[in-house]
Amino acid sequence: MRSLRLHAPRDLRMHDEPVPEPGPDDALIRIKSVGICASDLHYYRDGKIGSTVVTSPIVLGHEASGVIESVGEGVANLNPGDPIAIEPAKPCMECEWCKSGHFNVCPGIPFFGTPPVDGCFREFVAWPARLCLEVPESLSFDEIAMLEPLAIGLYASELAEPKSDDAVAILGAGGIGLSILEALNAAGVKRVIVSDPVEARRLVALKLGASEAATPSSADAVVERFTGGRGCDIVIECTGEDEAVRQSARLARVLGKLVIVGIPASDVYPFDASVARRKQLNAIFVRRSNLTTEKAAELVAEGKIDAASLATHRFPLHETADAMELALAKTDGVIRAIITVSE
C-alpha cells in the first residue's frame, strides 16, 4: 500500500508498505478522505508540537473517513463496505479518567499522527472496531472526515456552557473556529462575533451564521460596540497565536470565561496577568473531543451543521506537500484541505 511519511520538517516521502493485518476486535479500514489539521501543519513545518517531537518517519493525518475492508475475529457490528468515521484516539479504558468518562485525557493516549503512532495518510489502517463509528449514508466521505473537527467544536461548546443570550467571541475562523461557530448555532446561541485576519474566512463565518466578523486589529472595537462596553461572556481562542491569547482576556467581561482551543507553537500561553486577574476570568482548556462525534454526524445529517463548507480543497495523496503549503499560507479561501487517499 502507499504510505506517506514525514521524515523531517517539510520532507514528505511516499513508501510502499505491507497492508496491516487486523487483530482480534480490530477492523481493517480503507482510508478515503483525510483533512489537514493545524496539528499536522505544526509537525510538517516544525517537526514537533511543544515537547512532542518527530524522531522517526511518521504518517500524519487524523481527520479521516473510510470504508470497512475486513474485520478481525470477534467483530460483529461492522461489515465490509460500511462507511465509517474514525475516532483517532485510543483510550485505555482502564485508568481513573477513562472509568469516569473523560476518555480524551487518558494519560499517554495513542492518537493518529502523533509520535509514535502512525496516522491516516496511507491506504489502509487497522484500528479497534469500537472506534469505527457508523454514519448516515447521506454523508459524503469529505463530510465524514470533517466530523472530527466538528466533534471538537461541539465539545468546546459544551465545556463553555453558553446561554442563548450570551455574547461570544471566537478568535480564529479555521476549521476548528468555524466548527465551534456551527456548534454554538446548533445550541441556540444568537450573538457570536468571529475574528480572523483572512477575509475569505470572515465571509464563510458570516455565511455560517456569525453575527459579525472582525479583523484581529478591529476586534476590540467591535466587541466594545457589540456588547455596549461590557465585554463578551465567553471568548474562545482557536489560533494558538500569542496576541490572540492576550486579546482573549481583553475581550472578556468581568467574571467571563476563556475557552482555549488553539495549540501554541511555543508551548506557552502568554496571558496578561493583570487583565485576567482583575477580571477574575475562568479559563477552560480543551483537549480534543470527548463523546461528541456521533452527535456531530447526527447534526450534519439533519442539516443543522454544514460540514461541506469546511472541506474547501481536495488533493491526491501524492500532492499532500502542496496541500500543506496551501493550508499554511491560508490563501485561496482554504478552510480544510482534504487529501483524497482513495476514490
> What does the pLDDT look like over 131-162, one tens digit per residue?
999 999 999 999 999 999 999 999 999 999 99
Q: How far is CA 74 from CA 22, 87, 128, in A?
A: 11, 19, 11
Domain-embedded: residue 300? no
Same domain, residue pair 140 and 14: yes
Q: Which domain holds residue 103?
A: 2-146+310-340
Residue 249 CA to residue 269 CA, distance in Å, equals 12
- Rg for the chain (alpha carbons), in Å? 20
Q: What is the pLDDT of residues 230-250, one digit of tens each?
A: 999 999 999 999 999 999 999
Residue 325 CA to residue 328 CA, distance in Å, equals 5
Q: Are 68 and 135 in contact (CB under 8 A)?
A: no
Domain-embedded: residue 295? no
Local confidence band at 266 (pLDDT 50, 70, 90 cut-offs): confident
Give the mean pLDDT of 86-95.
97
Residue 293 CA to residue 305 CA, distance in Å, equals 13
Domain-embedded: residue 241? yes
pLDDT(166) > 90: yes
Give the mean pLDDT of 56-78.
96
129: which 3 cell numbers?
Answer: 472496531
Same domain, residue pair 269 and 328: no
Same domain, residue pair 13 and 42: yes
β-strands 311-316, 336-340 pairing: parallel
Same domain, residue pair 328 and 272: no
What one-character DSSP code corresponds to residue 111?
B
**Beta bridge partners of residue 27, listed in sequence order:** 71, 127
Same domain, residue pair 70 and 173: no
Same domain, residue pair 172 and 255: yes
β-strands 2-8, 11-16 pairing: antiparallel
Same domain, residue pair 46 and 105: yes
Q: How far is CA 101 from CA 90, 93, 331, 343, in A?
A: 13, 9, 40, 36
Domain-embedded: residue 219? yes
pLDDT(180) > 90: yes
- Cβ atoms within 10 Å, residue 91: 21
Specify the pLDDT at position 234.
98
Mean pLDDT of the chain: 97
Residue carrying C-alpha cell 493550508:
327
Domain-embedded: residue 13? yes
Specify the pLDDT at position 343.
84
Q: Are 147 and 120 in contact (CB under 8 A)?
A: no
**Structural domain tally of the chain?**
2
The string of DSSP codes covering 93-152 is S-SHHHHTT-GGG-TT--BTTBTTB--SSBSEEEEEGGGEEE--TTS-HHHHHTHHHHHH
Domain-embedded: residue 315? yes
The string of DSSP codes covering 76-90 is -S--TT-EEEE--B-
Question: Domain holding 25: CATH number?
Answer: 3.90.180.10
Same domain, residue pair 208 and 334: no
Domain-embedded: residue 119? yes
- Give all strands (DSSP E) within 122-162, no chain letters: 124-128, 132-134
Cβ-Cβ contacts under 8 Å for 156 (sequence gap 6 or more): 176, 180, 183, 236, 259, 261, 286
pLDDT(80) > 90: yes
Q: Say whether the peptide bond before residue 116 is cis (omega within 30 degrees of 0).
A: yes
Residue 204 CA to residue 75 CA, distance in Å, equals 41
Same domain, residue pair 87 and 188: no
pLDDT(55) > 90: yes
pLDDT(53) > 90: yes
Local confidence band at 308 (pLDDT 50, 70, 90 cut-offs): very high
Specify the pLDDT at position 265.
83
87: which 3 cell numbers?
Answer: 475516532
Domain-embedded: residue 303? no
Question: Domain holding 198: CATH number?
Answer: 3.40.50.720
Same domain, residue pair 16 and 142: yes
Q: What is the pLDDT of residues 95-119, one digit of tens each?
A: 999 999 999 999 989 999 999 999 9
